[in-house]
């Protein structure tokens, strides 16, 4: 016996997305609008409708439905910008620098609270050193190697000051003892 699965409502879709991970309001709105528009387009194809005036009205209706779902989620504390920021920070701090984390949050229309920004700033040098150690483990032999290491850290959002400090400290690290040659 075949069972046909009912498509999720907008609220059901939103709850399913939030069950997987925290989302920002901007991100969730974009995903729900895409789902609502695809659903409306499928209904229009089934009904044989093709008038653009009806589609414009449907787009406004979709936006209103999504806004209502977002408001309901916020009211019932399913959607929290603070939890999203904390989740994103927790997931990114071990591998990325302050610039990258701030940029990702800005893409979601959010910013770091002052205390979190200060905590990230205070730990950035240690985090950059740990990332450098995992990737490279030893100082570069030449200028091209140092430039490659600096680019690697810069691409992960570490500040130029922190990068130069990490590379200077790596260059001062005591060299590993050479293994005696066996004759």
- pLDDT for 47 equals 77
What confidence tens digit (pLDDT) does each residue in 39-89 have?
888 888 887 755 555 565 667 888 999 999 999 999 999 999 999 999 999
Residue 112 vs residues 83, 108, 153: alpha-carbon distances, Å: 12, 12, 21
Q: Taking CA 136 as the corner, what is the angle to CA 132 and CA 139, rounded to the nearest 5 degrees?
A: 90
Query: Does residue 31 contact residue 70 with C-beta atoms inside 8 Å?
Result: no
| More confident: 60 or 161 | 161
How many of the other CB atoms lie within 10 Å of CB of 147? 12
For the ranges 42-56, 143-157, 162-176, the lowest mean pLDDT is seen at 42-56
3-state secondary structure (DSSP) of residue 135: helix
Counts for the chain of helices (H) and strands (E), in that order: 8, 0
At 111, list the tokens: 């910013």
Q: What is the pLDDT of residue 177?
A: 46
Q: What is the pLDDT of residue 24?
A: 95
In angstroms, the CA 163 to CA 26 distance is 32
Cα–Cα distance, 109 to 68 (Å, whole number): 20
Q: Which range, of 36-45, 49-58, 109-118, 150-159, averages the lowest pLDDT?
A: 49-58
Q: What is the pTM of this model?
A: 0.76
CA atoms within 13 A of residue 96's CA, in its CB half-sphere: 16
Say if residue 178's pLDDT is above 50: no
Who contacts 105 (Cβ-Cβ below 8 Å, separation ≥6)? 85, 88, 111, 112
The pLDDT of residue 183 = 45
Q: What mean pLDDT do residues 23-30 have? A: 95
Cα–Cα distance for residue pair 74/56, rounded to 1 Å: 27
Determine the distance from the C-alpha atom of residue 106 to the mean position of all C-alpha atoms in its chain, rounded to a whole number.
10
Kindly state the percentage of the chain with pLDDT values over 90. 70
Question: Does residue 3 have a pLDDT over 60?
Answer: no
């Amino acid at each position: 016996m075949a069972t046909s699965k009912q498509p999720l409502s907008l609220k059901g879709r939103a709850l399913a997305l939030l069950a997987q991970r925290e989302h920002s309001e901007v991100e969730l709105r974009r995903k729900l609008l895409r789902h609502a528009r695809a659903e409306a387009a499928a209904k229009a194809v089934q009904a044989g409708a093709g008038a653009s005036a009806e589609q414009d009205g449907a787009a406004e209706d979709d936006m209103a439905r999504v806004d209502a779902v977002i408001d309901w989620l916020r009211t019932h504390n399913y959607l929290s910008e603070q939890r999203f920021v904390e989740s994103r920070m927790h997931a990114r701090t071990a591998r990325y620098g302050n610039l990258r984390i701030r940029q990702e949050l800005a893409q979601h229309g959010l910013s770091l609270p002052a205390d979190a920004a200060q905590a990230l700033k205070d730990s950035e040098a240690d985090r950059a050193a740990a990332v450098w150690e995992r990737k490279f483990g030893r100082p570069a032999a030449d200028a091209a190697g140092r430039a490659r290491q600096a680019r690697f850290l810069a691409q992960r959002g570490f500040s130029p000051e922190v990068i130069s400090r990490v590379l200077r400290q790596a260059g001062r690290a005591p060299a590993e003892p050479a293994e005696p040659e066996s004759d």
